[in-house]
Copies of this chain bind each other. A is one copy, B any other.
Amino acid sequence: MNTSETPSFERHDHERCIHSTVGRVAAACAERGLQLTPVRKRVLELLLDQHKALGAYELLDALRADGLGSQPPAVYRALEFLVGNGFAHKIERLNAFVACCIDETQHSPAFLICRGCNAIAEAESDGLKTAIEDTASACGFVVEQRVVEIEGLCPQCAIAQ
């Protein structure tokens, strides 16, 4: 099975995550005629700060501190842009949002959510997609969107119990 993952759970050069993702998003916006405005860019940076999900109102507090917006619609508009264009994801289970760290447009990965440290990793798995497709088509169901959110313990937290 072809499974690729972001290294969210392992020690890694996270500055590189941040810079490469911001750069990638900026390039994608330029190419696709999208505007990466200050508010949108700041929300992306806030989400990238850690591999954790942030609620809309946590983001809003941070925007307020930066003088970039003070009311809920400001952050929800930015999130709509980021999620709609595949630069961030909503974690339904948490009503919260994470930056997308995978260089692949409009994908729909599985999320691994650690209840110990709250870190979140995206996993793109062909086997999982196939299994979903098979499960659905066994019922004659046509898949359009998938939500796969797996809660548990990341390697470090599993060792620490």
A-side residues, CB < 8 A to B, are: 1, 3, 5, 9, 92-93, 110, 112, 114-115, 121, 123, 125, 127-128, 130-132, 134-136, 138-155, 158
Set of chain B residues within 8 Å of A128, measured between Cβ atoms? 128, 131-132, 134-135
Other A-B pairs, 17, CB within 8 Å; known A123-B138, A123-B139, A141-B155: A5-B139, A9-B140, A93-B147, A121-B141, A125-B131, A127-B134, A128-B134, A132-B150, A136-B150, A140-B158, A141-B150, A141-B158, A144-B153, A146-B148, A147-B147, A147-B148, A148-B148
A92-B92, A131-B128, A134-B3 are contacts. A139–B112 as well, Cβ < 8 Å? yes
A139→B7 CA distance, assembly (Å): 9
Q: Are B136 and A127 in contact (CB under 8 A)?
A: no
Q: Are B144 and A147 in contact (CB under 8 A)?
A: no
A144→B150 CA distance, assembly (Å): 7
Q: Are A152 and B147 in contact (CB under 8 A)?
A: no
A155→B9 CA distance, assembly (Å): 40
Instruction: Name the one of B9, B92, B127 contacting A93, with C-beta atoms under 8 angstroms.
Output: B92
Q: Are A138 and B93 in contact (CB under 8 A)?
A: no
27 residue pairs A–B, Cβ–Cβ below 8 Å: A1-B135, A3-B135, A3-B138, A5-B138, A5-B139, A9-B140, A92-B149, A112-B136, A123-B138, A123-B139, A125-B134, A125-B135, A125-B138, A136-B150, A139-B154, A139-B155, A140-B158, A141-B150, A141-B154, A141-B155, A141-B158, A142-B158, A145-B151, A146-B148, A146-B150, A146-B151, A148-B148
